[in-house]
Structure 1
Amino acid sequence: MVWFVIDSKLHTGQGRCSKIISIYSVFVQFTLSELCWLCFLYTVVLQFVFVMLYIFVLIETVRAMTYVINQGMAMYWGTSRWTSMEIMEAYSVARQFNQIPPICEQAEYHMFQREKVEVHLPELFHKIGIGAMAWSPLACGIISGKYNNGIPPYSRASLKGYQWLKDKILNEEGHRQQAKLKELQAVAERIDCTLPQLAIAWCLRNEGVNSVLLGASRTDQLLENIRAIQVLPKLSLSIVSEVDCILGNKPCNKKDIRS
């Protein structure tokens, strides 16, 4: 099975450093044959096709995605939850057999989940231009501040099937995260933005992050999150350093280890 995403995007900036916020995303799951039949019945062009799990013969995956793009069913393809080695292998196979390589890895990235995007993906970004599409920039709503005083009624963590999220919020690590979020709230107020806006802008400040995927249940919430793009210029080195100091979880990259 393959995940497909239809995105509407908000662009800002120019050239390689431009950033994108995905303001509307629809994820659907098809087999390749189902996708071909869908495109036969309707005029469908997807911006991105994501292969979520590396469970196929790699050359077949690369050829299948090349076929999808050459047939006009999609514009690009990317990977989701692949390791850096698997992504590099896919790129090498595509170049070797004159196929289309992936251009993006969809990875979880937020203030409490940093290692993959900040340690493992930068090398791919600089070597072969693989960008990152960050999902869950608010950590399933944890960074929104809504859980500061427990689990509100009708919130995601209160719903059936989300016991894992409730446990994550209420355990010892969750309490430590809530304490850090209160400190980050003060930083957000100082630069005249909300905590979610600070968190989203913090994700976008990473040069290897090309896009963040946003989810919203209300129009005003969506508009608030989109305005995070206006916060990005306010993230000076001193602000970023202060955020890192509060979080206390900045991973050591390979250059730091070698030096």
Structure 2
Amino acid sequence: MKYRLLGNTGVWVSEISLGAMTFGGGGHPVYGALGALGREESDRMVAAALDAGVNLIDTADVYSDGESEELLGHALRNRRDDVVLATKVHAPTGPGPNDAGWSRLHVMQALEASLRRLGTDHIDLYQLHNFDPLTPFEEVLAALDDAVRQGKVRYIGCANLAAWQISKALGVSAARNLNRFVSVQSYYSLVGRDAERDLVPMAQAEGVGLLVWSPLAGGFLSGKINREGVASEVTRRGAAGAPDFPPVDLERGHDVVDVLRAVAARHEVSLPRVAVAWLLAQPAVTSVTVGARTIEQLNDNVGASGLVLTEQDLTELDEVSRLPLAYPNWIHAAFAPARQPNG
């Protein structure tokens, strides 16, 4: 396993991280289809990940209505100090009007609940799970800063925010001397490269670590879904628990899978391993989060840490998956050569 620095923190995290969305949820209308691993299965999955060198494990308070945190806490009961433990806050955790969002009221209540479920006195990386248009950054960042000063949180991050939102938050933190986001967790894959337009350059410029979720596009890049439909009894289900999530342009996506299959054949490895290795070769990526249903899937994904793609591999995958530049990126690119230093 290789390790990379988490933003500007000085903390080393494994370039493959374990997502605990598959923990719990048996019978749940959403999370039951994602894995529904029980206590013994979750214990084995965490032990296998740690033994393979994984030291970053991510969950959220909303996963399986809190059961994911409970199972993860049990699995880490004797190895808590071996991991950088990450969880998230924002999504509804109850029926009340204040059981969601970024308000100081909800963040403080949700933090205490997560600490209880995880069986720990601190969370290493506490992340805002999505954007809340109702709560100012000033309020939520002050609440998170208090949590850090109280010793209940070590670092703060975010997930699924736009580049401008993160930049605004960093400005608020700088102006008010508050703890800043050290990472952003974003969707990024060979069939979902939107993050490259603004998020990736922002992360590089601001020293924010990029954590990737759904690197296989909800299973699309596993190669099990062909142009005629589903080749086996497989349904793509992503973070929302809905079929066909994240969205994929199927025509372009199947072209990507064709090239992915050819690259995998050259290395005699699986398609998922190449898809994850491609992400690890991209600028700004700190860690790729994998959510496995089986130990075999976990081991295959972890193997991407040792897979080095050739220039030919990277070029072929880039050419088939590259998005057209969006404004203003295309006009920046058009005039960029005029501002390059003389050779």
TM-score by length of 2: 0.62
| One-letter identity of the residue aligned with 2:216 | L
Q: CA deviation at 1:166?
A: 8.5
Find out whether 1:100 has 2:174 as its counterpart.
Answer: no
Structure 1 Cα separation of the partners of residues 175 and 246 of structure 2: 47
| One-letter identity of the residue aligned with 1:189 | A
**Conservation of the 8 A alpha-carbon contact between 2:160 and 2:185:** yes
**Conservation of the 8 A alpha-carbon contact between 2:216 and 2:272:** yes
Find out whether 1:229 has 2:323 as its counterpart.
Answer: no
More helix by share: 1
Q: Which of the residues 287, 294, 300 maps onto 1:211?
A: 287
Structure 2 Cα separation of the partners of residues 167 and 40 of structure 1: 31
Find out whether 1:33 has 2:108 as its counterpart.
Answer: yes
Q: CA deviation at 1:204?
A: 1.2
Q: Which of the residues 201, 204, 220 maps onto 1:123?
A: 201
Task: Tell me the residue number matched to 1:196.
Answer: 272
| One-letter identity of the residue aligned with 1:26 | T
**Conservation of the 8 A alpha-carbon contact between 2:182 and 2:207:** yes
Structure 2 Cα separation of the partners of residues 147 and 21 of structure 1: 25
Q: Which of the residues 312, 324, 342 maps onto 1:238?
A: 312
**Conservation of the 8 A alpha-carbon contact between 1:188 and 1:195:** yes
Structure 2 Cα separation of the partners of residues 158 and 90 of structure 1: 31
Structure 2 Cα separation of the partners of residues 100 and 94 of structure 1: 6
Structure 2 Cα separation of the partners of residues 217 and 46 of structure 1: 25
Q: Which residues of 2 match residues 10-159 of structure 1 at below 5 A?
A: 11-12=2-3, 20-24=15-19, 25-29=58-62, 31-38=106-113, 39=115, 43-51=120-128, 52-55=130-133, 56-116=135-195, 118-148=196-226, 150-151=229-230, 155-157=234-236
Structure 2 Cα separation of the partners of residues 13 and 33 of structure 1: 30
Unaligned runs of 5+ in 2: 20-57, 63-88, 90-105, 337-343
Evaluate the alpha carbon distance shift between residue 33 and residue 162 of structure 1 in structure 2; reply closer, same or farther with a 3 A threshold.
closer
Structure 2 Cα separation of the partners of residues 103 and 167 of structure 1: 25
TM-score by length of 1: 0.80
Evaluate the alpha carbon distance shift between residue 223 and residue 131 of structure 1 in structure 2; reply closer, same or farther with a 3 A threshold.
same
**Conservation of the 8 A alpha-carbon contact between 1:115 and 1:251:** no
Q: CA deviation at 1:239?
A: 1.8
Q: CA deviation at 1:135?
A: 0.7
Q: CA deviation at 1:167?
A: 11
| One-letter identity of the residue aligned with 1:27 | A
Aligned partner of residue 197 in structure 2, secondary structure: helix
Unaligned runs of 5+ in 1: 1-9
**% identity of equivalent residues:** 23
CA deviation map 1:196-227 (0-9, x unaligned): 01100111111201111111111101110110
| One-letter identity of the residue aligned with 1:12 | Y
CA deviation map 1:135-176 (0-9, x unaligned): 1100000001121263256533489x966418967xxx4244
Evaluate the alpha carbon distance shift between residue 67 and residue 11 of structure 1 in structure 2; reply closer, same or farther with a 3 A threshold.
farther
Q: CA deviation at 1:193?
A: 2.0
Evaluate the alpha carbon distance shift between residue 156 and residue 69 of structure 1 in structure 2; reply closer, same or farther with a 3 A threshold.
farther
**Conservation of the 8 A alpha-carbon contact between 1:114 and 1:250:** no
Structure 2 Cα separation of the partners of residues 211 and 193 of structure 1: 20
Structure 2 Cα separation of the partners of residues 54 and 214 of structure 1: 26
Q: Which of the residues 164, 171, 186 maps onto 2:262?
A: 186
Structure 1 Cα separation of the partners of residues 107 and 13 of structure 2: 32
**Conservation of the 8 A alpha-carbon contact between 1:49 and 1:78:** yes
Structure 2 Cα separation of the partners of residues 45 and 147 of structure 1: 41
Structure 1 Cα separation of the partners of residues 306 and 127 of structure 2: 29
Measured on the aligned residues, the alpha-carbon RMSD in Å equals 3.1
